[in-house]
Amino acid sequence: MYIVIVIGLGLLSRTRITPEFIYPYLGDFFYAVMFYFIIAFLLYKSPSKTVLIISVLICYLIELQQILDYDWLIAIRKTTIGSLTLGHGFLWSDMVSYTFGGIVAYGLEHFVLRKV
């Protein structure tokens, strides 16, 4: 349920309603939050810190693969689903957004959602 909500927020963040000054970062923030909840779902018995580390590392690896320029990888990135999942072009600001998104998701899950 949380994953679907975060995906919706992430897609919504790519619309005109998002303020221009956070537009470049908000989608990546939600991307990290989504991965946090996916990993939390898959590793539901794992500590929150483990989920945080794994989910942020996955985001980092996805960002780092953008440095690669293999023809088959570029072809995947040109598709809609490939573009949404793999992105285009490495940016250090994305790494910061992933870190912040993972930490916020950790706090939300660890301090708020577990008490509900």
Per-residue pLDDT of 79-98, as tens digits, reads 999 998 898 899 999 999 99
Q: What's the pTM?
A: 0.86
* Mean pLDDT rounded to a whole number for the chain: 91
pLDDT above 70 coverage of the chain, percent: 98
Alpha-carbon separation of residue 8 from 27, 31, 96, 105 (angstroms): 11, 11, 21, 16
In this structure, are residues 101 and 33 in contact, taking their beta carbons and an 8 Å threshold?
yes
Does the structure show a pLDDT above 60 at 116?
no
**How many whole angstroms separate alpha carbon 19 and alpha carbon 26?**
10
Q: Which residues, 6 or more positions from 11, have their beta carbon under 8 angstroms from its beta carbon?
A: none
Query: How wide is the angle at C-alpha 96 spanned by C-alphas 90 and 101, nearest 5°?
Result: 115
Q: Which residue has the tokens 């912040």?
A: 100
